Structure formats: C-alpha cells, structure tokens
Amino acid sequence: MLYFTDSTTKSPDTRAMIMKMLTVGPFAANCYIVASSKTKQGMIIDPGAEAKVILTTVQQMGLSISLIAITHAHIDHVGALREVQEKTNAQFAIHEAEKGFLFTAPMRMLTSLGISPVKSPPRPDRILKDGDGIDIGDLHFEVLHTPGHSSGGICLSGHGVVFSGDTLFNLGVGRTDFPGMSHERLMKSIYDKLMVLPDETIVYPGHGPPTTIGDERRGNSFLQDYCP
C-alpha cells in the first residue's frame, strides 16, 4: 500500500516547511519527508519499507537528507532504515531508551508474524532524549519522549505540527498489548506532552490520516476516558 500527501506549512516566523507523507509496506506505516523550502535540507521520519520509493521521492523533491529520525524501533518504522541511510549518508537518530530494542524487537516481530527478515538496522549516530532539539536547515523540532507504546517512543514537535509516531492516531492511540508496553504510561505521555500543544497543531501519526490536537481533545474517546 502506498500513497502520497503533500503539505506546506508556514511557521509564525515565516520560515516554510515542506512535507510529503508516504504510506508504505504491509503495515501501512507513514513515512515522512520533511524539509526546509529555503535550504532544501531535509530529514526522513520512520522509513518503514519501500526504500526505493522513499529515495526516489527525495530525489524528485530535490532534497539533501541530513537526518533519519525514528519514532520507535518497531519493524514497520525501521524496515528500510539501513538501505535509506546507506544511500543518503544521513545520520540516524533514536531515543536513548529505544536503542537497546533496535536489534531485537524488529526481528522478533517479523519472526512472530512469519515474515522474512529484513536488513538489520544500523547503529545510531545520535542518541536523543526528551527536550532535545533537531535542526534541519532553518527548521527546528523538539523531541518529546512519549513512552507507552514503546519505552523510547518519541514525537517531534515544531512549526505548528507534531509527528506522533504510534503514540497518538486520528481518534485512536497506540496499542499496548505487547510485552514492555503500558497503557497507563502511554496515556500519561499523551496527556502531559501532546495535549498541552495548541488545538490547531496538526498531528501526523505513524498510521492513518492526519488530525489536530483540538479534534483529538474533543473527539478521541481514549482521551475522554482518561483521568490523570
């Protein structure tokens, strides 16, 4: 499954962000290509599958990729990581609490589903923690540590958008029924890190269509049922 979404968002200081969403692989995961329209410097978020499609899109957009950011180490978000990094020579960044799962969780998940293994992910070049900044050209994003779906799950917030990985979906939240996951931690992460963002913030999730913080605050039954 593969589809494209284009978006251009202007931040309050008039710097422009260009973004393309690709939905790739058998798990229909969203991969995001994000760049400065001024410098054409970009990053890729969660290259989960279909490396050739991702790389071709980058070339068509005329971008130079300096960073690959992974929201969490599940196979549907890292399956094309090695090939994409080898072709772009970009640095690879992941949260410090997730790096220990990088070489075991993807392979274990594939084996359990009866799917042939993919190339193992490379070792990270940059270890992220909550509150870190990511600069891409003249764009700036903040790392939000949002554990629950995974120990080192992160979201990236900036320029009126948040890339939420598998933390928050359109009218849904990440699953927490596998070992090492925690529904309570996930809901606390969403409440403490995402629900404090402005209502107009656009949410680009790891699966499914975009939404906004305001729409989720008003209509997401998981959030309405949560009592912090």
| Digitized pLDDT (tens) for each residue of the chain, 228 residues in all | 343 455 544 444 435 899 999 999 999 999 999 999 999 999 999 999 999 999 999 999 999 999 999 999 988 999 999 999 999 999 999 999 987 766 555 445 544 444 445 667 788 999 999 999 999 999 999 999 999 999 999 999 999 999 999 999 999 999 998 877 899 999 999 999 999 999 999 999 999 999 999 999 999 999 987 766
Spatial distance between the Cα atoms of 128 and 144, rounded to a whole number of angstroms:
10
Q: What is the pLDDT at residue 11?
A: 42
Whether CATH 3.60.15.10 fits 4-224: yes
Strand partners, 6: 20
State residue 101's pLDDT score.
Answer: 66
Exposure string of 91-116, with b = 16+ CB inside 10 Å and e = fewer, is ebbbbebbbebbeebbeebeeeeeee
Q: Give the predicted TM-score (pTM) of the model.
A: 0.89
Among 141, 49, 42, 130, which residue's Cα sits nearest to residue 91?
Answer: 42
Predicted pLDDT at 147: 96
Angle in degrees, CA 159, 185, 169, rounded to 5: 45
